[in-house]
Amino acid sequence: MTPVSIKRMSHWTQTAALAACLALGVGGLAYAVDDQAEEKAIQAGTGELKGLEDRLKATKAREKSLGDAISALERETRVLSERLISMAARVQAREAKITSGEERLVQLDLEERAHKDQLRRRRKTLADLLAGLQRLEQNPPPALIVKPNDALAALRSAMLLGAIVPELKAEATAISRNLSRLVDLRSAIQRERKGLESNVARLLQEREEIETLLSKKQAMSAKTRNERKEYKRLAASLSGHAKNLRSLIGALEKKRKQRLRAEQKLAEKLAKEQLAAEERIKLEEKRRLAVLKAPRTRFSRSHSKISYPAQGERLYTYGDKKPDGTMAKGVALATRSNAQVTAPADGTVVYAEEFRSYGRLLIINAGEGYHLLLAGLGTISVSAGQTVRAGEPIGTMGEKAASGVVGSGADLSRPILYVEFRRNGNSIDSRPWWAGSSSKVRG
């Protein structure tokens, strides 16, 4: 209903109320004009009821149009969720490649340093051998023809040469191999660094694409909520004015039952149609919300099917002894800086804020009394009330760990994600649910 039509109805209501007061007044003059005033009020009420019926028909058409629009938005949201899940998987795979490349670079650097040290040691040995040869050249053994009696000195020199020459040859061959391996190592290091730079550049590009898709999904969700809010406001306005109109006609009916009988039936019919339309809207909205919020897979049947929400090193799991001596009630994963975090299972976000010293805390209602708690995040890209699917990106890690996650005296130099499963408010053993370890999660 537009503001003009609401204003028109209010004006008519005031006029009809005045007519009713005149009709119900006391005194001879009031009785003289009673029939005429009631007739005008009834005619005005009949016309306004006809207008209300037309507006109710328009409201039904609007209801159908809004239902189609919401269905289209739901389909777009599902398609967008699939793209987000695929993109998050690619980001995590890219992070795993970057981490593997960094580890290979470390190993190549260590091997390069080892070969350089070996070359330095061989260089010293070769230098000592060459120095001995140089001394031998300055003091050569005597010729047996000139000094036949000095055969012992000549024999010793020949034995010395026989021992030194093979060693020189072996050292030269080893040095040649080391130099060749060093050249290969440097080429491999250059290739690894180029590959690492390429992976980092692609990772940044894919993270920007994820942020764009998340912004689009949030905008679509906001648009849907605004449409529903506007429709509820319109339906409430129609219902309120219809109620006022029925009250006025009821007051006039006390004296003019015969004249108002047809209008009364029409008002009751319109009221029933309005209530039926409102009930249909409420039921349809509840059904759609239930479909949107219901998990695709029952959490109790997801044993050995849930993937870890981030790539990293598993520090401890449920039942292990934590660094501070207490028993762990969840899983702790040490990740790389700004690592992608995804939803472990389908559900509805019930909390997405910073909480004390635990960093940013996210709680997902997975249904059947199960809640998934994720603490230590650097950023959260979803909000309370939003539905998420398993594998959908929900945030990223920060640069270091939150103190509340790792406990007092622990290392805060790298980010740590803490995941805990709860049922009916109590912590439960999450180990049966995990689908094993990914390539970067170590037991």
CB-based contact 253:35 (threshold 8 Å):
no
- Residue 441 has what pLDDT? 45
Question: How far apart, in Å, are the Cα atoms of 262 and each of 50, 243, 267, 380?
Answer: 12, 18, 9, 60
d(Cα 404, Cα 212) in Å, to the nearest integer?
A: 32
Evaluate if residue 368 carries a pLDDT over 90: yes
Residue 422 CA to its chain's centroid (Å): 20
Q: Which two tokens stand for residue 135?
A: 């001394």
- Residue 51 has what pLDDT? 78
Of 108, 297, 259, 296, the C-alpha closest to 189 is 108
Query: What is the pLDDT averaged over residues 308-336?
Result: 92
DSSP H helices in 397-439: 403-406
Query: What is the pLDDT averaged over residues 98-102?
Result: 82
- Which of 48-62, 147-161, 332-346, 365-379 is predicted least confidently? 147-161
- Which of 49-58, 340-349, 359-368, 407-416 is predicted least confidently? 49-58
Query: What is the pLDDT averaged over residues 370-392?
Result: 95
Query: Following CA atoms 363, 366, 368, 371 in sequence, which dihedral angle do they give, to the nearest 10 degrees?
Result: -20
CB-based contact 394:342 (threshold 8 Å):
yes
- Residue 372 has what pLDDT? 97
Query: What is the pLDDT averaged over residues 181-203?
Result: 84
151-253 and 257-293 helices, crossing angle to 10°: 170
CB-based contact 347:365 (threshold 8 Å):
yes
Evaluate if residue 330 carries a pLDDT over 70: yes
In tens, the pLDDT along 267-320 reads 888 888 888 888 878 776 766 665 455 555 789 899 999 999 999 999 999 999
In tens, the pLDDT along 210-235 reads 888 878 877 776 776 777 677 667 76
Evaluate if residue 374 carries a pLDDT over 70: yes
d(Cα 30, Cα 253) in Å, to the nearest integer?
A: 17
Please state, rounded to an integer, the average pLDDT across all residues of the chain: 77
7: pLDDT confidence band, cut at 50, 70 and 90? very low
Query: What is the pLDDT averaged over residues 7-34?
Result: 46
CB-based contact 334:313 (threshold 8 Å):
yes
- Residue 179 has what pLDDT? 79
- Residue 29 has what pLDDT? 43
- Residue 380 has what pLDDT? 97
The total number of residues shown for the chain amounts to: 443
SS3 call for 226: helix
In percent, the amount of the chain with pLDDT more than 70 equals: 70
Question: How far apart, in Å, are the Cα atoms of 135 and each of 129, 130, 141, 166, 384?
Answer: 10, 9, 11, 18, 86
CB-based contact 443:315 (threshold 8 Å):
no
- Residue 442 has what pLDDT? 43
According to the per-residue pLDDT averaged within each range, which of 8-12, 133-137, 324-328 is highest? 324-328
Residue 283 CA to its chain's centroid (Å): 30
- Which of 252-256, 367-371, 417-421 is predicted least confidently? 252-256
Evaluate if residue 9 carries a pLDDT over 60: no
How many distinct helices (H) and strands (E) make up the chain? Answer: 6, 10
Determine whether 335 is exposed, middle or buried from the number of CB atoms within 10 Å of its CB (0-12, 13-18, 19+).
buried
CB-based contact 204:94 (threshold 8 Å):
no
Which single residue is written with the structure tokens 């290739």?
Answer: 191
19: pLDDT confidence band, cut at 50, 70 and 90? very low
Query: What is the pLDDT averaged over residues 156-170?
Result: 68
In tens, the pLDDT along 230-258 reads 766 776 676 666 566 666 566 666 677 77
Sign of CA dihedral 410, 413, 414, 415: positive
